[in-house]
Homo-oligomer: A and B are copies of this chain.
Amino acid sequence: MTVGFLGPKATFTEYAVKSIFSDQNRIPYASIHGCLDAVKNGDVSFGVVPIENTIEGSVTNTLDYLIHDHPLTIVGEIVVPIQQHLMVHPDHVEHLQEVETIYSHPHALAQCRKHLANHYKSAEQIQTLSTSAAAQLIANHPKQISAAIANELAAEVYGLSIVERDIQDYQNNHTRFIIVTNEQRNFPVESTSNVKTTLIITLPLDQAGALHQVLSAFAWRKINLTKIESRPMKTGLGNYLFIIDIDQALDQVLIPGAIAELQALGCGVISLGSYPIFEVK
């Protein structure tokens, strides 16, 4: 069994994959689209891509694929705490005060902004395409006294020394990744966690209170929505669809009732799956 993921190697996405699929063959893909296509075509059994609050990828690309290209089934969610570490080549552990350049992905640099402003004010910040690309760059230039911001896995893969841990400004930041598949598969990992359902709802027209009416179908049944997001439908600005997360499984009495009501009102409803949540420590 193989698992595809948004590459390159040693990013937060591979960190998420490794925490759940420890023994499986992992294949990196250059884009979210490439990874999800591999799942669609059966080249890999499962795919793992970021969906929220991400560093390496883009929520937009993931959602757009599932909505507009091919409705793969979500079979699990992996929640990873964002822990950014400052790392250098092992030769330079003693020269931390001389670091002139710090490399990382723009979002990682942004996440450590206050720390960098307080402790490395004079160091130049250079953006890279991923956190692991920054680590690789440091490994490939051992003579430069430079540092990278990346995760634990990148330090391990590229043989760097972590000199400062957890330098992100917010300690409660997480990234959510989804595990998708193209067919009914026995998901190989057990979870005792909560189950969640993701629905995509399109509204019949852009009218005052239409969204309120949609939410009424859930509210009077006391179905709790943990997330709601509107996205353009790509048919022009102002036409939105809604992505809704519900904190229970789809195979209950109440959710099918709500869905039937919404469809009777002219809404389109697609389920992307009911799935367990894996929280990585």
Contacts and interface: CB of A to CB of B under 8 A. Distances in A.
A157 interface: no
A206 B224 CA distance: 9
Contact of A173 (B215, B219, B234): B234
Contacts of A32: 110
A247 B240 CA distance: 14
Interface string A197-218: 0000000001111011101101
Interface in A57-78: 58, 60-61
A174 B106 contact: no
Contacts of A240: 226-227
A101 to B, nearest CB: 14
Copies of this chain present: 2
A33 interface: yes
B229 A230 contact: yes
Nearest to A235: B172
A45 interface: no
21 contacts: A30-B127, A31-B113, A52-B232, A53-B232, A58-B106, A79-B237, A127-B129, A172-B235, A172-B236, A206-B226, A207-B224, A208-B223, A208-B224, A212-B215, A212-B216, A212-B218, A228-B229, A228-B230, A228-B242, A229-B229, A229-B230
4 shortest A-B CB distances, which residue pairs?
Answer: A212-B219, A209-B219, A208-B224, A208-B222
